Amino acid sequence: MFRSDEISAAVTRAARDAGFDLVGIAPVADAPELEYFPTWIAEGHAGEMKYLEARDEQGRLKRSSLGNAAPWARSVVVCALNYNSAQPYSTQPTDSGRGWISRYAWGRDDYHDSVMRRLRQVETALRNAVPANDLVTRCYVDTGPVVERVVAKYAGIGWIGKNTCVINQKLGSWIFLGVILSSVDLESGLPAPDRCGTCTRCIDACPTDALIAPYQLDSNKCISYLTIEKRGGIDEELRAEMGRHIFGCDICQDVCPWNRKAPATNAEEFKPRAELVNPALSWLAEIGVEEFRQAFHGSPIRRAKRTGVRRNAVIAMGNSEDRKFLPVLEKLAEDEDEIVRESAAWAIRELSSQD
């Protein structure tokens, strides 16, 4: 026999030793936050992210309940890693010739890999503390049928803010989450209380009105979705609201009061590469195949693919109000990539219409 409190203590120590900033344990139970998930999917708010629609053998959405995704699971270990850095926010003025890459993608490593390496250490400690025949585990970092922010709330990591991000009272929302599903009951923490109060700054600041209500996001309008997940062309009515975003969007976090005093990370792999903090739009719009491969080797920016990054940079040029980009846009309007060509033609029209 084993004592769940002793196992939980061992897991907590292992998480600290692995470099995680926060760790908690949530029970496996139906969460009221997930009751809206089937409706959210049915209304098309997931956009083209079809993986969110994964179903079990009974046709139930896996992410609508942990019981659907992993009926054997009894508890969830949730670990959090701070990725903030002491750099300006996207809401601060910058050179019109430069764009914005989301804060979490400034480092040299893909956070999936960095968090998973640490998570495996915690999993090993858990396995060492429980007889092998009595334990089944699964580790996920944004890759499994788990809505991490919901279990993070019930593990006491933080509350789910009105911008749908997990917010911790001390670290703010600049945190990566990793989870370990466990087949044994472990001593759980308490849910984190919601501290958003009456604040609606994130909702008010969203340029595309993607936050359709408190705690509800329409991915189709979200700049992060548009610049990373969306393939092909972007609807023209949304382009002008995208500003100079190249990869991701931090606006709803940048304006959050809980991030005003958020500490910087100690993790070396998340220290920012200077060229990615407000990167030059011309560089990204004209980046070649080999240069893209080398510049973003191991980076989450690869997810947008070269076409997506170039498309986004061209749209950013169109939103820059800087006519110096017209010569390069005229060149890109004849690019071999159809998506880049079309985006460049739009950007030319935008800049040419300005007096």
Residue 1 has pLDDT above 60, yes or no: no
pLDDT band at residue 313 using 50, 70 and 90 as cut-offs? very high
- Which of these ranges, 149-153, 165-169, 268-272, has the smallest mean pLDDT? 268-272
Residue 355 has pLDDT above 70, yes or no: no
pLDDT for 177 equals: 98
Q: Nearest Cα to 20, choosing from 211, 182, 152, 191?
A: 152
> Angle CA(240)–CA(246)–CA(248) in degrees, nearest 5?
100
Q: Using a pLDDT cut of 70, give the percent of the chain over it.
A: 99
Grouping H, G, I as helix, E, B as strand and the rest as coil, residue 247 is strand
| Mean per-residue pLDDT, 264-278 | 92
Residue 131 has pLDDT above 80, yes or no: no
pLDDT for 312 equals: 98
| Mean per-residue pLDDT, 242-248 | 97
Set 56, 109, 142, 194: catalytic member: 142
pLDDT band at residue 94 using 50, 70 and 90 as cut-offs? confident
H or E element at residue 79? strand 75-82
pLDDT band at residue 108 using 50, 70 and 90 as cut-offs? confident
pLDDT band at residue 138 using 50, 70 and 90 as cut-offs? very high
Is 0.85 surpassed by the pTM of this model? yes
- Which of these ranges, 51-65, 131-145, 160-174, has the smallest mean pLDDT? 131-145
Number of other residues whose CB lies within 10 A of the CB of residue 154 = 22
Q: Nearest Cα to 90, choosing from 82, 81, 99, 80?
A: 99
Q: Nearest Cα to 177, choosing from 248, 65, 77?
A: 77
| Mean per-residue pLDDT, 226-237 | 96
Is 134 among the catalytic positions? no
- Which of these ranges, 87-96, 120-129, 205-214, has the smallest mean pLDDT? 87-96
Instruction: Determine the number of helices (DSSP H) and then strands (DSSP E) in the chain.
Output: 14, 10
Domains by residue range for the chain, with CATH: 4-86+108-182 (3.40.109), 201-260+274-352 (no CATH)
pLDDT for 134 equals: 78
DSSP 8-state secondary structure symbol assigned to residue 264: P
**CB-facing half-sphere around the CA of 223: CA atoms within 13 A:** 28
> Angle CA(84)–CA(141)–CA(133) in degrees, nearest 5?
135
Query: What are the pLDDT digits (tens) for 44-89?
Result: 999 999 999 999 999 999 999 999 999 999 999 999 999 999 898 9
Tokens 């040029």 map to which residue?
317
| Mean per-residue pLDDT, 189-206 | 96
- Which of these ranges, 1-15, 26-40, 252-266, has the smallest mean pLDDT? 1-15
Q: Using a pLDDT cut of 90, give the percent of the chain over it.
A: 88
- 8 Å CB contact between 316 and 351: no
